[in-house]
């Protein structure tokens, strides 16, 4: 009987012919072109529409001014000014009326509508047209500028490939939309391709650029058993990846949703300004009415000049720049951080991070890698250090204990891959191993266990005491009943740990503290290596002790962060002013726990994000101050009759543009593929429609 299943095809057969691959890329370019067309269609309905109206308003305004200067007929001049006002009013008037009727609020659109109507009543058609043009120009510039903040999340979404090459049961491959690829599938990732979904490498080796997800500048080497993330870029190797999550749950999708939520969450200063504006704006309207009515009614003054001053007051006192000063800065900073592998959960945490004066570090998995590594080998017998390490690695090779794995890794790194033959093996759980290696009886394990087995350790005690003082864990090796040497292991320090601690102090952090459940000797040894003072080391702590230590730090310094792995340190992260989890790529629990998440295991991102937060705080303070000072200056000019309508709207719009551009400096450059269609990208990731006026003052 013939089998219905064909044998797996060779790898060369499974990979399509280059011509086929090029054909697929042609289709991909066609899809990108279609997406570009859709994107341009959407742009026409937003920025381009506003641009056409602004240009029309400006042309008519200029023509009206020329006609007025040339002494042409008044009906023609008024018609040109009327067209200039109408072009802007197409958007301004409906927006102002919606604000009053639906939202019960008096926004700048309503105030401009009233001011322009007042200018027409006073016969100041030229000023009314100038107000409309300047306001519409400001709207256009704001729209263009704020569109850059949206690009930060669009750039993230554009990283996800549209399709994946999925290996079928018969070893053939099929192109499948990534949304339709189930977990457990094997996808093929060729050189230069983006990884379509989170998964684990099952075949091949390559260097993968993880910068789009983790912010790491150096590609990470990936081989069988290593995790890879959707949106990262494969290097020169060929990979086969078994997916671990569906598209909607992959790391990139979770990051995008977190950034979207963070950018929509309001910072404390923003909430305060909005509450202030809700009271302030109606108060300004009342003051304008009184300014218009009291002098003519009480003091017999002429109505027209006071009516004009009231209109100026309405325009210049509107808190547009004040309202937009904070959200644009917060959104820009969060967008910048997300592209550099740092997730900030909201504006509140961005502001809190900017005032941190103390940072508490967990040790294991934070300052250290959380993986033991061989630090030194001390030979006490005729065997050399390399021979001792090779012998111990052979004995430990069958053990799954972390220390045993570390000894085997160290032997391989030193080129000792050809281990002696192991004739017998027995493991004592938590104590050590007993093996016969190349005809020799070998013990490797804890000193007390080896000594209990009848091996005299008098000559080893000095070495054991030195290792204990250094915070290192000893594995004693005995051969034929005699001590042969000691292998010292310790949790490996992260390369950037010392640099990160020094950089934190340069950013203004006064105290850096180490909180650890490890022994005092081990904690002190790590503290010495990274530059933490002995008095700032708290060792032997249970989870509740860490909580108490962090709480005391917050009380003493006013604001303190806790940096941990986001799972084991969750209680301490919760009581800190800002809880910071690191190395959270692929970890649901860590992403959910932290206020700030360092996606990669890169401690240098910590001082960077603190400095970004402080820059954001300084930017917000400048923006608020500039907005208030500008208003006060023009208000003073208006009170004495030196400010007219166009100067009032120029001051309001100009201040708004200045604070927006200043906040946008925190965003940095955001490259986005020309073919990326924002609406379609948001639909792919299950996000709602984008608010056209998100963060908009007007």
Residues 12-52: tens digit of each pLDDT: 333 334 344 444 444 444 444 444 444 434 443 556 788 88
Residue 260: pLDDT band (50, 70, 90) is low
Provide, rounded to the nearest whole percent, the portion of the chain with pLDDT above 70.
Answer: 81
Asked if 417 contacts 397 with a C-beta cutoff of 8 angstroms, the reply is no
In this structure, is residue 570 part of a structural domain?
no
Verify that 373 and 418 share a domain, yes or no: yes
Each residue of 395-408: pLDDT tens digit? 998 888 889 989 99
Of 59 and 694, which is predicted with more confidence? 59
Cβ partners under 8 Å of residue 588, min gap 6 = 254
C-alpha span between 410 and 492 (Å, rounded): 12
pLDDT for 458 equals 85
In this structure, is residue 593 part of a structural domain?
no
Domain boundary among 493, 517, 540: 493
Verify that 54 and 171 share a domain, yes or no: no
CATH code where residue 460 lies:
3.40.1110.10
Verify that 142 and 41 share a domain, yes or no: yes
Domain boundary among 467, 493, 519: 493
Verify that 389 and 478 share a domain, yes or no: yes
Verify that 168 and 298 share a domain, yes or no: no
Of 121 and 557, which is predicted with more confidence? 557
Verify that 240 and 274 share a domain, yes or no: no
Which residue is listed with tokens 């009170």?
Answer: 639
- What is the spatial order of strands in the sheet that 233-234 belongs to? 220-222, 206-209, 233-234
Please, where are the H alpha helices in 300-424?
A: 303-316, 320-325, 327-339, 347-353, 385-396, 402-413
In this structure, is residue 15 part of a structural domain?
yes
Asked if 697 contacts 146 with a C-beta cutoff of 8 angstroms, the reply is no
Verify that 134 and 278 share a domain, yes or no: yes
Q: How many CB atoms lie within 10 A of CB 122?
A: 17
pLDDT for 147 equals 66
Verify that 165 and 146 share a domain, yes or no: no
In this structure, is residue 352 part of a structural domain?
no
pLDDT for 229 equals 87
Domain boundary among 209, 233, 254: 254
In this structure, is residue 203 part of a structural domain?
yes
Residue-number span of the structural domain to which 382 is assigned = 369-493
In this structure, is residue 549 part of a structural domain?
no
Verify that 44 and 149 share a domain, yes or no: yes
Verify that 64 and 193 share a domain, yes or no: no
Token pair of 412 as six digits: 């391989």
In this structure, is residue 408 part of a structural domain?
yes
pLDDT for 24 equals 43
Residue 225: pLDDT band (50, 70, 90) is confident
E-strand ranges in 216-357 read 220-222, 227-228, 233-234, 239-243, 342-344
Verify that 244 and 286 share a domain, yes or no: no
Each residue of 605-620: pLDDT tens digit? 899 999 999 999 999 9
Residues classed as catalytic: 362
The domain tally of the chain equals 3
Verify that 125 and 266 share a domain, yes or no: yes
In this structure, is residue 118 part of a structural domain?
yes
Of 631 and 682, which is predicted with more confidence? 631
CATH code where residue 193 lies:
2.70.150.10
Q: How many CB atoms lie within 10 A of CB 223?
A: 12
């Amino acid at each position: 009987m013939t089998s219905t299943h064909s044998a797996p095809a060779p790898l060369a057969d499974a990979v399509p012919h280059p011509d086929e691959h090029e054909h697929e890329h042609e289709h991909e370019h066609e899809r990108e072109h279609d997406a570009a067309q859709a994107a341009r269609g959407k742009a026409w309905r937003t920025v381009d529409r506003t641009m056409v109206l602004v240009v029309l308003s400006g042309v008519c305004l200029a023509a009206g001014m020329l006609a007025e200067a040339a002494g042409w007929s008044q009906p023609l001049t008024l018609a040109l000014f009327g067209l200039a006002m109408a072009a802007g009013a197409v958007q301004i008037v409906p927006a102002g009326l919606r604000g009053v009727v639906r939202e019960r609020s008096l926004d700048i659109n309503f105030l401009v509508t009233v001011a322009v109507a007042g200018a027409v009543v006073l016969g100041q058609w030229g000023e009314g047209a100038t107000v409309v043009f300047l306001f519409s120009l400001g709207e256009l510039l704001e729209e263009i500028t704020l569109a850059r903040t949206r690009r930060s999340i669009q750039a993230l979404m554009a990283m996800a490939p549209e399709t994946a090459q999925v290996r079928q049961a018969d070893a053939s491959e099929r192109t499948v939309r990534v949304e339709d690829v189930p977990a457990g599938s094997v996808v093929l990732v060729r050189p230069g391709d983006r990884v379509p979904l989170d998964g684990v490498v099952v075949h091949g080796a390559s260097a993968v650029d993880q910068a789009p997800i983790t912010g790491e500048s150096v590609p990470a080497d990936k081989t069988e058993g290593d995790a890879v993330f959707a949106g990262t870029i494969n290097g020169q190797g060929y990979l086969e990846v078994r997916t671990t999550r569906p598209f909607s749950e992959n790391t990139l999708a979770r990051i995008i949703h977190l950034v979207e939520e963070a950018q929509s969450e309001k910072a404390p200063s923003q909430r305060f300004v909005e509450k202030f504006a809700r009271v302030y704006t109606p108060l300004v309207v009342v003051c304008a009415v009184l300014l218009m009515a009291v002098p003519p009614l009480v003091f017999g003054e002429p109505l027209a000049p006071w009516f004009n001053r009231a209109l100026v007051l309405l325009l210049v006192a509107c808190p547009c720049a004040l309202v937009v000063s904070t959200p644009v800065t917060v959104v820009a900073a969060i967008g910048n951080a997300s592209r550099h592998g740092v997730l900030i959960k909201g504006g509140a945490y961005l502001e809190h991070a900017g005032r941190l004066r103390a940072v508490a570090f967990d040790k294991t998995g934070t300052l250290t890698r959380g993986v033991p590594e061989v630090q030194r080998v001390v030979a006490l017998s005729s065997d050399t250090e390399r021979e001792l390490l090779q012998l111990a690695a052979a004995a430990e090779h069958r053990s799954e204990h972390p220390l045993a794995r570390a000894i085997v890794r160290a032997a391989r790194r030193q080129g000792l891959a050809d281990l002696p033959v192991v004739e017998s093996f027995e493991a004592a759980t938590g104590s050590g191993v007993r093996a016969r290696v190349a005809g020799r009886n070998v013990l490797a394990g804890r000193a007390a266990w080896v000594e209990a087995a009848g091996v005299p350790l008098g000559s080893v005690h000095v070495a054991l005491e030195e290792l204990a003082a250094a915070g290192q864990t000893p594995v004693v090796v005995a051969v034929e009943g005699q001590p042969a040497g000691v292998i010292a292991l310790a949790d490996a320090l992260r390369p950037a740990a010392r640099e990160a601690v020094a950089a934190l102090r340069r950013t203004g952090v006064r105290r850096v503290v180490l909180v650890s459940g490890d022994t005092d000797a081990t904690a002190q040894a790590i503290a010495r290596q990274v530059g933490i003072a002995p008095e700032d080391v708290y060792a032997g702590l249970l989870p509740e002790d860490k909580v108490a230590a962090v709480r005391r730090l917050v009380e003493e310094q006013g604001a303190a962060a806790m940096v941990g792995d986001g799972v084991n340190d969750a209680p301490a992260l919760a009581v800190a002013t800002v809880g910071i989890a690191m190395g959270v790529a692929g970890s649901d629990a860590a992403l959910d726990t932290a206020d700030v998440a360092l996606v990669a295991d890169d401690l240098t991102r910590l001082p960077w994000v603190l400095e970004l937060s402080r820059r954001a705080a300084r930017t917000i303070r400048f923006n608020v101050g500039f907005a208030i000072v500008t208003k006060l200056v023009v208000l003073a000019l208006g009170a004495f009759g030196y400010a007219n309508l166009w100067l009032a709207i120029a001051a309001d719009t100009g201040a708004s543009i200045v604070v927006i551009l200043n906040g946008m400096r925190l965003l940095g450059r955001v490259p986005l593929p020309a073919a990326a269609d924002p609406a379609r990208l948001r639909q792919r990731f299950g996000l709602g429609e984008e608010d056209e006026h998100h963060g908009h003052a007007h």
